[in-house]
Copies of this chain bind each other. A is one copy, B any other.
Amino acid sequence: MANIQEVARKAGVSSATVSRVLNNTTVVSSRTKMKVEKAIKELQYEPSMLGRNLRKSESRLLLVLIHSFSNPFFSKIINGIEDHSIANNYNILLCESDSDPQRENIFLNMVRNKLADGVISMNPAVDMEMMLDLAEKHSIIFCSEYYENDAIPYVTIDNEAAAYKAVKHLIKLGNEKIAFISYEESFVYAKQRRNGYERALREFGLPMREEWIYNAGGLDFQDGVQAVRKFLQCDERPTAVFAVSDTLAIGALKEVNVRGIKIPDEMAVVGFDNINFSNMTNPTLSTVSQPMYDMGYKAASMLIDSIQGKAVDSVIMDHELIIRESTLS
């Protein structure tokens, strides 16, 4: 593979001039420019990013940490991240750290090792201390899940308000026994959603029972199925379920269907995230929609700003309650 020196030799100029042609950085006379371009074509020269990256000491790669590919919630966010990154000549290194906790370390080493210029973390299970430490020398943005002080900028929604709105909607429909499918309340988003759930119940003077709260072991459909099985064993069977995630809600829907319980009359269900599927279930699922694409786009924009040394502020985006058949009589 030809390098810049060979191109220079062939064109009868110096490598500096070739570089100038390549980057359009200074004026090069049109005659030399043509000579250089001819040489490039003849040698099928392609500039090496390795050389350029070393010299500029940047990789133009952004690390994106997610918990798991299998949750479709992330795909739209990633679309947003990717679009903005590519438009700014960055590329993304998508890393799933779910399966193996020590894998996270491998990934974060990439930014320490200059293989990535910055990080967008969407993984709520991330080691916060490590992130805080890393943030002192590198650019980090949280997306969706974040750390509850302003040490690291984030883009998210008001989870508490969204959950409150969802539960209030269930209450307005006449439900008084409302169950909650939670997940890992050490995660900020889960805790906030629970707070919203509790606030709504309190505000309307409704009972709050431990047995109506199921702490799922994961975010898979199957975990939602389990939750409903548990609820159906309660002495006082709940008449509505709010889940912190659509995947859980869809599993719940499934199990309610299987048991022949009528939705929403005997059991109303609301999820969270508005993933694609939520519109394809039977019945369709009411849910809270986050502006996923925009969140990703904004996070990427914030990260690139931060890499370039600009100050960035956290953002809280709008959410929306989407009412579908699972709460529509």
**Residue numbers in B under 8 Å from A95 (CB-CB):** 82, 91
- Nearest CB in chain B to that of A284: its residue: B254
| Contact, CB under 8 Å: A54 / B50 | yes
**Residue numbers in B under 8 Å from A59 (CB-CB):** 49-50
In the assembled complex, A215 has its CB within 8 A of some CB on chain B: no
Mask, A133-153, CB within 8 Å of B = 1, is 000010000000000000000
In the assembled complex, A114 has its CB within 8 A of some CB on chain B: yes
Give min CB distance, A214 to chain B, whole Å. Answer: 18
**Residue numbers in B under 8 Å from A49 (CB-CB):** 59, 110, 113-115
Mask, A69-85, CB within 8 Å of B = 1, is 11010111011001100
Number of copies of chain A assembled together? 2
| Contact, CB under 8 Å: B72 / A70 | yes
| Contact, CB under 8 Å: A279 / B221 | yes
| Contact, CB under 8 Å: B279 / A282 | no
Among A53, A254, A257, find the residue whose CB has the most chain B CB atoms closer than 10 A: A53
A-B contact pairs, 18 of them (CB 8 A): A1-B137, A46-B112, A46-B113, A49-B115, A50-B53, A53-B54, A69-B74, A70-B72, A70-B276, A82-B95, A91-B93, A92-B93, A93-B94, A220-B276, A221-B279, A250-B280, A254-B280, A281-B282
| Contact, CB under 8 Å: A50 / B99 | no
CA distance A57 to B51 in the complex (A): 9
- Nearest CB in chain B to that of A79: its residue: B69
- Nearest CB in chain B to that of A257: its residue: B282
Among A82, A95, A276, find the residue whose CB has the most chain B CB atoms closer than 10 A: A276
